[in-house]
Amino acid sequence: MTTHGGQETPEVEEWSWAQQPGCLPLSRHIFTKWLSKQGVFYLKEEATLLFSEILTNAIKIPSPDGLTLSRWLLYPNKLRVEVMDWSAEAPWVQDPGPWAEEGRGILIVHLIANSWGYEHRTFLHPKGEGFVPGKYVWFELSR
């Protein structure tokens, strides 16, 4: 980490993922390698689970270029992970019931993360065709 204007700037990594379930094992592998390289491998299990949950939700939402962006930010006191999607609909904690096969992702994030949320954003269309509503879903884990 570097200091800029008296404040620590985070180590940042960005990856774009193909919007298909096959990207998930690769994304988890690359993410855990990055955590190790940053010296926070002890966050591996929790952080990888939460990253996988919000990325899984995001790749289900079609984007104009077929990609989903993730950003990993490591601060002195926390890890923040953000995943962009092309829906303005807010994520919410569901009670899927014991037999449901889906619907637990945000619940898991809510239970494990120190904090989580979303930020509505407007993104430039990748093909320059105006702006598109969307959001970043994020979580934070203390170091």
Range picked from 77-81, 96-100, 131-135 for highest mean pLDDT: 77-81
Name all domains of the chain by residue range, CATH numbers in brackets: 12-142 (3.30.565.10)
Question: Phi, psi at residue 117, to the nearest 5°?
Answer: 175, -160
* Helix (H) / strand (E) containing 65: none
Higher pLDDT, 115 or 105: 115
Alpha helices in the chain (DSSP H): 23-37, 44-59, 105-112
Asked if 76 and 1 count as a contact pair (C-beta separation under 8 A), the reply is: yes
Is 133's pLDDT higher than 80? yes
Residue 91 contacts residue 120 (beta carbons within 8 Å): no
Model confidence pLDDT, tens digit, residues 82-97: 999 999 999 988 777 7
Q: Which residues pair with 7 in a beta bridge?
A: 4
Separation of alpha carbons 101 and 96, rounded Å: 8
Predicted pLDDT at 64: 87
For residue 43, the 8-state DSSP code is G
Q: Per residue in 40-72, pLDDT tens?
A: 999 999 999 999 999 999 999 998 889 999 999
